[in-house]
Amino acid sequence: MPRYEVAEDLDEKTKDLSRARQSLVEEIEAIMFYDERANATKDKDLKAVIIHNRDDEKEHASLLLEWLRKHDEALDRELKKNLFSK
């Protein structure tokens, strides 16, 4: 999982944070893929399936973000400060 350092040098918390962050990146990428495919297809039924799948990825992303919030104090602070603000 580590992309920049040797795994043996990292503690388990750092490894799990990397796993969650990389998974969040992949969920966001999936949202982008599905969004473009839904936009590009001319088939109405296929578009509906792809949009459903895209929105499932948003649930996956939000679950990862919540896990990260619970395990990263600075992220928790920033999300509390910036999310749902006016």
DSSP assignment of 5-55? S-GGGS-HHHHHHHHHHHHHHHHHHHHHHHHHHHHH---HHHHHHHHHHHH
57 and 34 in contact (C-beta within 8 Å)? yes
Nearer to Fe ion, 17 or 34 (CB): 34
Smallest separation, CB 85 to Fe ion (Å): 27
Smallest separation, CB 66 to Fe ion (Å): 14
Residues that bind Fe ion (CB under 5 A): 27, 57, 60
Residue nearest to Fe ion (CB): 60
Smallest separation, CB 56 to Fe ion (Å): 7
Q: How many CB atoms lie under 10 A from the CB of residue 61? A: 19
Nearer to Fe ion, 13 or 62 (CB): 62
Nearer to Fe ion, 7 or 25 (CB): 25
